[in-house]
Structures are given as structure tokens and as C-alpha cells.
Amino acid sequence: MSAPARSGAWEGVRLVAGREITQRIRTKSFLWTTVVLLVLVVLATVGASFLMRSETVLQVGVTDETASLSESVTATAESLGASVEVVTVSEADGRSQVTDEELDALVVGSADDFSVVAKSTLDATLSTVFGLLDQQATLAGEILALGGDPAAVSSAVASAAPDVESLDPPPEVDGSQIIAGFVVGILLFISLQICGQLVAQGVVEEKTSRVVELLLVTLRPWQLMTGKVLGIGAVGLGQVAVIAGAGVVTASALGLTDSIKLDLGATALWTTAWFVVGFTMYALLFAATAALVSRQEEVAAVTTPILLLMMFPYIVGVSVAPWAPDNPLVVWLSYIPFTSPLIMPIRVALDAVPDWHVVAALAGNLVVIPVLVWLSGRIYSNAVLRTGSRIKVADAFRGA
């Protein structure tokens, strides 16, 4: 029996990646982090939905006499950016419901001459709504008395808005976007950090157990490194996709997607894309630095600089970006390779950046990757068979 010829270098990479995937997804720690992150995202989405509802949907009751007003109430409220649900009730029921706070307001009287019942004070938005309605009714009466056409006048008035040209429009951010920004920032940081550490530990595990010497008889160092990065990356990507997907599904199921500004699909897609780019960059760094040491205890020491490099944009991303997506530090960090994978997706969630900027930042990161591949491949190849004390980066690079 002689071994069939193997189809090229990528077969080796595929085998290494396959081993990483099957071994990783079976570990308890992987299952637990996935479950915890899933729960986190679903809870955040549910929390967001409560926030949205309590914020916007106002309940207004009308009696049979004032029912003809319901359309105007809804339309006027909508023009003010609030959503109103109108229900028809008897006056007695309506009054008790207002008392019980089931209704925010009850419209009584007649369509021409109505009055509003509120518990203590009328909601500010509703107050404006009814004020406008009252003004319109009064105006219509006066126009009619002067022999004019109220409909023609109101349409003329409606179109008489000032033309405002905003040179630097303030970003409008709603609650759902802020929550999404947080979730995206935290999810990316945790995933990138966990997957990066897995790569580092995997590299050192092979050195510590000396299995690397056996592997390198049939594999080139770059095949081993690439396979490991791809395999762990695929597992991490699957994890992020599942979690992001769970967020989207929960949001749609709760009917959240209709009433919020957040573009869920784009956010999930960009988050995933940035994970891929960020993971590739950081995983290569982790692989190269981990190859410098021979014991798991030393991994933390060599990978700390990389963790700090991730920590900085993460902290800026979750502490500054959601409140000030246009803060110069946030903006700059979102374009610089290494920091942008952790910040740009937050800005995307906040809808604070045009698509072509995101694409440009992504391209900037992609340009760095071939350099990283070369650099980390060299360090890894030179260091991975040298066991014992920690190797200096410069020595590994020179291959001394």
C-alpha cells in the first residue's frame, strides 16, 4: 500500500484547519462562551425592545363622538416623530383607564369642540398634538367664516416650511443604535480576544508537547500556522455569526426592526466582516509571538502588548463612541489598521459613517495583512522549533 499523492500545499493547511475546528468546538469552554454571549445578546435585544416601547407608543382613547379625530391625532403625532395608538372606548371606561394609566389621554366632547382628559398633566408630545389639532380646527372655522377653503389653506401652510441647509448635520442616534454599538463593541472585543488567545495557546501547546517536531516533518511551518489561524478563525466566525444572527432574529421576532433607526442587517454583516479582518490581523500577531515561548505560563507575558493594542480601541469604542461617534479620537482610530476592526463596526451600528469610508478603512486593513503574513510567518518558522527559554523577536526575525 503506498500513499496516494497529496494534492498540493493547501491539503496540509486544510487538514490542520480541520483538526482545529473539530477539536475546538468540542471543548466545554467554547460551548460556554457561546452560550453566555448568546444570552447576553438576546437579553440586550429584549432590553432594547422594552426601552423602545416605553419611549414611543402613546395610548389615546376616543369616544364614539370624537372617533373621527383619531386619524388626525395619529397623523399629527407621526409628523412629530411619536407613535400613537388610538382606541375607542366609552367615556366612563376611558376615564377609569386614564386613572389606571392604561391610557395617556382621553378625548371627550365632540369632534368640533373636544377636550382632553389626562391623569395629572398631559404628556408633552400629546399636548403639542392636541394643541395643533385645536389650532387647525379654530383656523378652519375662521377660514370658513371668511369664505375660504380650509383644505387649500392648510395644504399651503403645510408646504410653507423654511428651507434649511445644514452644513454639518448632527448625527441622530437613537437608543437602539447605542445599544447595538455597545453590543457590537463588546462582542468583537471578546471574540477577537478569545480567538487570539486560542491561537496563542494552540501554538504553545504544540511546542510544549513537542508534537510540532512530528508535524513539521510533513508540514511547512507556514502551513501549520495558516491552518491553525484559519481553523480557529472559522470557529470564531461561526460563533460571531450565530450570536449576531440571534440578535437579528430576536429583534425581528419582537417587531423591533420597524420602529428603530438601526440597520440591523448592515450592522450584523459589517460586524462579521470586521471580525474576519480583525481576527486575521490579531491571530497572526498572536501566532508569531506565542512561537517565541515554550510554556503556557509565558504566553500571557508575550501577548500582553497585543492585548493592550486591542484594549485601547475597545475602551474608546464603548465609552466614547456611542455618545460621540464623531469625536476625533474615535474617527481616527476607526481608520487606523489594528484599531479600526474594534471601532469601525461601532460607528457603523451608530450609522455615523458613510459606507465608502467603511470600505476604505477595510481596504487599509487588508493592505497590512500580506505584510503581517510575511512577518509573522518568518518569526513563527524560525522560532517554533526552538524550545527552552524565550526567544527575542529580533533573533527570531533574523533566524539566528
Partner 1 sequence: MPALEFDALSKTYGTLRALDDLSFTVGSGEIFGFVGSNGAGKSTTMRIALGVLAADSGEVRWDGRPLDFEARRHVGYMPEERGLYPKMKVGEQLVYLSRLHGLGTRDATSAMERWTEILGIAERRGDEVQKLSLGNQQRVQLAAALVHDPEILILDEPFSGLDPVAVDVMSRVLRDRADAGAPVIFSSHQLELVERLCDRVGIIKAGSMVTTGAVDDLRSSTAPRWLVDAPGAPPGWTAGLAGVTTVSTDGTRSIVEVADAPDAEQAVLRAALSTGPVREFARHRPSLTELYRHVVSENAAGGAPVPGATASVAVPAA
What is the contact surface with partner 1 in residues (CB under 8 A)?
A: 1-6, 12, 15, 19, 22-23, 205-206, 209-220, 385, 387
Give the count of alpha carbons within 13 A of 115, CB side only: 4
Nearer to partner 1 by Cβ, of 19 and 398: the residue is: 19
Q: Which of 18, 38, 24 is nearest to 242 (CA)?
A: 38
Q: Which of 226, 235, 211, 225 is nearest to 27 (CA)?
A: 235
Neighbours of 104 (CB within 10 A): 21
Q: What percent of the residues of the chain are helix, what percent strand, and what percent coil, each to the nearest 5?
A: 70, 5, 25
Task: Find the distance separating the first CA and the last CA of the chain, reported in whole Å.
Answer: 41
Nearer to partner 1 by Cβ, of 16 and 321: the residue is: 16
CB of 228 to partner 1, least distance (A): 12
Collapsing DSSP states into helix, strand and coil, what is residue 64?
A: coil
Nearer to partner 1 by Cβ, of 221 and 325: the residue is: 221
Nearer to partner 1 by Cβ, of 108 and 216: the residue is: 216
How far apart (Å, rounded) are the C-alpha atoms in residues 107 and 116? 5
Residues facing 61 on adjacent strands: 87, 106
Nearer to partner 1 by Cβ, of 227 and 325: the residue is: 227
CB of 394 to partner 1, least distance (A): 18
Helices then strands (H, E): number in the chain?
Answer: 15, 4
CB of 337 to partner 1, least distance (A): 34
- In terms of C-beta density within 10 A (0-12 exposed, 13-18 middle, 19 or more buried), how is residue 164 classed? exposed
Residues facing 109 on adjacent strands: 114
CB of 376 to partner 1, least distance (A): 20
Nearer to partner 1 by Cβ, of 104 and 206: the residue is: 206
Nearer to partner 1 by Cβ, of 294 and 339: the residue is: 294
* Grid coordinates belonging to 361: 478603512
CB of 15 to partner 1, least distance (A): 6
* Grid coordinates belonging to 326: 464623531
Collapsing DSSP states into helix, strand and coil, what is residue 171?
A: coil
Which residue has 507575558 as its cell numbers? 301
Nearer to partner 1 by Cβ, of 14 and 95: the residue is: 14
CB of 6 to partner 1, least distance (A): 4
CB of 400 to partner 1, least distance (A): 11
CB of 389 to partner 1, least distance (A): 15
Nearer to partner 1 by Cβ, of 216 and 266: the residue is: 216
Residues 6+ apart with CB under 8 A from 270: 344, 345, 348, 358
CB of 237 to partner 1, least distance (A): 22
Residues 6+ apart with CB under 8 A from 357: 335
- CA 266 vs. chain centroid, Å, equals 9
